[in-house]
Amino acid sequence: MAIDTLSDCDQIFSKLLEDIIEKILSCVTLKQRPIVSLVSKKWQQIIKSFNDDLNLVHKYSSKIACGYCGSSQFDRHAYCLCSNTDLYHVDPFIKLAADNISFKELYLFIPPTFRYCASPRILDSNFLTILHIKGNCNMNIIQKFNVMPSLKELYFHSVCIFSHAFSNFIPKCPLFVLLTLINCDNLNELTVPHLNYLVKLHVNTRKKITKIEVKAQNLLEFHLCCPAFTKLDLSASTKLQFLHIDSTNIPDSFPYDICSTFPYLKSLCLILCRGLKKIKIVSPLLESLTLKNIIDLDEAFIATPNLQLFNVIYSFKFQTPCPIVGSRQMEVEMGARATNNLLELRTFAENLGENITLSLETDTTGAKGVTFQPGNLGPLCIKCINLVIQSSFKPRYESFLVEFFGYSHPRTLVVKVNSDACKHTLYRS
């Protein structure tokens, strides 16, 4: 009997369990979906319910399969049956556009052993709002597009794109909200124009960036992780609330009074930043402050009455006068390496409240060999101290511990002794 309607097919396949049907249809390629949708109304609904935000290029063991037609081969340089180019393995986006398959979100993962060259049709969608690409993909073609009216989120990881191509492309995306660039090593310069809706910008690269200029006036978050940069211009982004910079070196042009430049900062994180010798952080809005491995810092003035979290790890010289004014309820994490002058640490921590977690490494060499005299300074109440005792040519554990407890009363004390240290001397003390 001939089948003329979808309703007839629904009756024929009604005995199949729906989960079995879904498993079968999940194996159908994108190329086959339009035809399979004609089998029955139920199948049509199931296919429509599938999430099309899938990886269009898959890798099965040593094979590479086209997410569009399903064909696979062992040679990664060969081209699949549906591709009209032999430059790279597959260009499924040409066929997607030809079949009028519109998608709002696209996530593409390119296997490490595979190269992909984007087609001009890859972004031929007025509905695309999110584009994530990770892998060896040449995206320099994007500069040829006039405008992408709906794109809000762009995530490029290890994508090949040059500075001039990126600069030509960005202004054509007026609705950008989130921009993330990770290990796009061909970007030696980065210029981001004013985009009214751009609020988050993340840049992470393994190579030096000569110039970073951001003109987005409504930007709220800026994260930068790179070995070094010559110029950083964020002067237009005065509404910044989160500023995180992790860089080996920092230019002289970096602002000294950082909260004056960015008055709405809520979170500030500075890591390494060699060359940063003095800084002033005064803000009633700042809630989180991290200073990590900033060993060149000689002068710091910090007045943040509403600070909730303060991390100062292996940073600056504690003997340098460094006024700290913060909330008495804030959580503080301190880390000090090879610091034996406990008086300096005690003075530094005096205004930091009682919620301090201190990680201290010492070899006790600097401990006094005479009876400890605390003077007028009483011991500080500290939440937790993690003490690491390193080996020493002149171990003075007894006098060190007397001085240690003279300056601090930890509620929790965790002691770790280096394997080369004289354990019996420490325990006898």
Alpha carbons 216 and 193: distance in angstroms, whole number: 6
For the chain, what are the domain ranges?
A: 13-50, 334-429
* H helices present in 213-339, as ranges: 258-261
Mean pLDDT of 226-243: 94
Alpha-carbon span 367 to 106, nearest angstrom: 61
Specify the range with the lowest mean pLDDT, choosing from 65-79, 331-345, 365-379, 388-402: 65-79
Confidence label for 114 from pLDDT (cuts 50, 70 and 90): low
Q: What's the pLDDT score for residue 144? A: 65
- pLDDT for 271 equals 94
Q: What DSSP element (H or E) covers 332?
A: strand 331-337
Return d(Cα 295, Cα 286) in angstroms, integer. Answer: 23
Instruction: Give the sheet arrangement for strand 63-66, strand by strand.
Output: 57-60, 63-66, 72-73
pLDDT (0 to 100) of residue 1:
41
CB-CB contact of 313 with 289 (8 Å): no
CA 408, distance to chain mean position in Å, is 36
pLDDT band at 261 (very low <50, low <70, confident <90, very high): very high
In sequence order, what are the residues at sequence separation of 6 or more whose Cβ sits closer than 8 angstroms to the Cβ of residue 92? Answer: 30, 56, 57, 66, 67, 68, 69, 82, 83
For 141-298, list the strands marked E by DSSP.
153-160, 178-182, 189-192, 200-204, 209-214, 221-226, 229-233, 242-249, 267-274, 278-282, 288-292
* Through-space distance between the first and last CA atoms of the chain, rounded to whole angstroms: 97
**209 falls in which pLDDT band (50, 70, 90)?**
very high
What mean pLDDT is reported for the chain? 77
pLDDT score of 191: 94
Q: For residue 354, what pLDDT is reported?
A: 85
Q: What average pLDDT does range 260-282 have in this prediction?
A: 93
